[in-house]
Every structure is written in C-alpha cells, then in structure tokens.
Amino acid sequence: MRTLKEVVKARKPETIAVHVSMISDDLSRIIKSTGGEYSDKYEANILPTEFALHQNFPNPFNPATKISFDLPQDSKVSLIIYDLLGREVTRLVNNEFKVAGRYTYDFNASSLSSGVYFYRLETDGFTNTRRMMLVK
C-alpha cells in the first residue's frame, strides 16, 4: 500500500489561490483513491502497491459473499463469475475504468445451485482466478 505522503506530494505554492487549488486537487485525489469512502480511523496506507485478488468472504457462502481486489494503478477492470464448467454466470464489473484503490463487490447467488464457482479479475497487465463454494 502507498502512504498518504506518496498520494499527496509536498509542493510550495506561489499564492494563496494556488494553495487553495492544490488542497482541492489533493482532496479529490484522496477521495478517488479510497473509492469515496471515509472513516474516522487513521489509515497510513491508502493505495495498494500491487495487484491482488483476495479470497471471497465468507467462503463457503449462502447466498451472498464479498469479493475484494486491489489496483495499484488506474485500470480497466472486469470481474467475472464462472460455474464449474467454465460458463460465464455474471459480470460484477464489465471492462470499467477504475482508479487505483481497493474495491469490494457483493455477489448474490440466491438464484444459483450449490457448488463450486470461480471468480476472475482481468485488468491491464494482471489476471487472477479464485475459487468459491456456494452451499445451500
């Protein structure tokens, strides 16, 4: 994860107007890097330093689970769910542009049968697949 100092670079403004503009830009960058979410808890690490697809939680699940991934840089992203035979079940993210940060998506499988499913993250330069189990 990158630290706040890496996201917001130190600069010396010439005027107050430039300083206000820089603060506004920095706040926008921070909000984008956290997906617009905020917390009253301090986190020294804001942005991931490498691509990652995390294990869903809970697993096994019934009927819903959460799938998280990290993007160290802005990327086009697809997050696809497949059944055991490799057939596409759904796309949680369909080739969408995402800014760097951590993302979590809910997957509701209430209309699916019990069994093993796979979820695959595809980005610019990174692909990974993990397994999850739906137990009804």
For the stretch 88-100, pLDDT in tens is 999 999 999 999 9
Residues 110 and 58 placed together within one structural domain of the fold: yes
Residues 58 and 40 placed together within one structural domain of the fold: no
Residues spanned by the domain of 69: 52-134
Between residues 36 and 116, the one the model is more confident about: 116
Query: Across-strand partners of 108?
Result: 64
Write down the pLDDT at residue 95: 96
Q: 44 and 3 in contact (C-beta within 8 Å)?
A: yes
In order of 13, 21, 38, 130, the CA distances from 4 in angstroms are 19, 18, 14, 30
Write down the pLDDT at residue 12: 72
CA distance 136 to 134: 7
CA distance 54 to 57: 9
Residues 83 and 123 placed together within one structural domain of the fold: yes
Residues 63 and 121 placed together within one structural domain of the fold: yes
Number of compact structural domains in the chain: 2
CA distance 56 to 79: 13
Residues 68 and 8 placed together within one structural domain of the fold: no
Place of tokens 């890097």: 33
Residues 33 and 78 placed together within one structural domain of the fold: no
Residues 96 and 127 placed together within one structural domain of the fold: yes
Residues 127 and 65 placed together within one structural domain of the fold: yes
pTM for the full predicted model: 0.67
Question: Virtual CA dihedral for 109, 111, 113, 115, nearest 10 degrees?
Answer: -10
Residues 27 and 92 placed together within one structural domain of the fold: no
Residues 24 and 67 placed together within one structural domain of the fold: no
